[in-house]
Amino acid sequence: MLTEEEADALIAMEKAFARPEPIELPGPGGCLKRALVSTDERESFLLDVNRRGAMVTVRCTYQLRYQVIIQLLRLDVGRAHTNPDGQHLPGPHLHKYREGYDDKWAEPVSEPDFPALEDVRDTFVRFLGLCNVSGIPDIQGVLL
């Protein structure tokens, strides 16, 4: 797979949406998938916003993938997680690719980085910043 250094470089790489059409954020039960490309157009990525199975309006997953299956970053809101060492994270958490573990480790989400997790639009924009995405198209859709 990837080394952590390679994954960190991919995350830090400046990216843009492959097609600059407006983004329609999904409501509860919905899903968004959009292609991203590095600004030098050498690398491609997938961005997902998943609200499937969400009975609670704040449950949402934001994900940056590389080569379709490699999860570089994943923000889970409204879900708990247990790390391989047994550490339990009861609230929102961020997965970052870790060599040998892929996306199995997570850290609690920092409130300064994501102060309004119930606001899908705000959290989406902040996640794009974390993924180093520029040139964000118009964002439409739900605010829940």
- Quickly state the pLDDT bin for 1 (edges 50, 70, 90): confident
pLDDT in tens, 88-133: 999 999 999 999 999 999 999 988 999 999 888 999 999 999 999 9
Q: Which two tokens stand for residue 50?
A: 């998943």
pLDDT of residue 55: 58
Separation between Cα atoms, residue 49 and residue 51, nearest integer Å = 7
Q: What angle do CA 94, 92, 115 make, to 5 degrees?
A: 95
Query: Is residue 59 over pLDDT 90?
Result: no
- 78 sits in the region (left: phi over 0; alpha: psi -120 to 50; else beta) called left
pLDDT of residue 50: 93
Task: Answer for the pair 46, 61: CB distance below 8 angstroms, yes or no.
Answer: no
Q: What is the mean pLDDT of the chain?
A: 92
pLDDT in tens, 74-91: 999 988 999 999 999 999
CA-closest candidate to residue 89, choices 76, 74, 70, 72:
76
Q: What is this structure's pTM?
A: 0.92
Query: Is residue 57 over pLDDT 80?
Result: no
Separation between Cα atoms, residue 126 and residue 8, nearest integer Å = 18
pLDDT of residue 53: 64
Task: Answer for the pair 89, 110: CB distance below 8 angstroms, yes or no.
Answer: no
Q: Which two tokens stand for residue 53?
A: 């199975």
pLDDT in tens, 17-26: 999 899 999 9
Query: Is residue 37 over pLDDT 80?
Result: yes
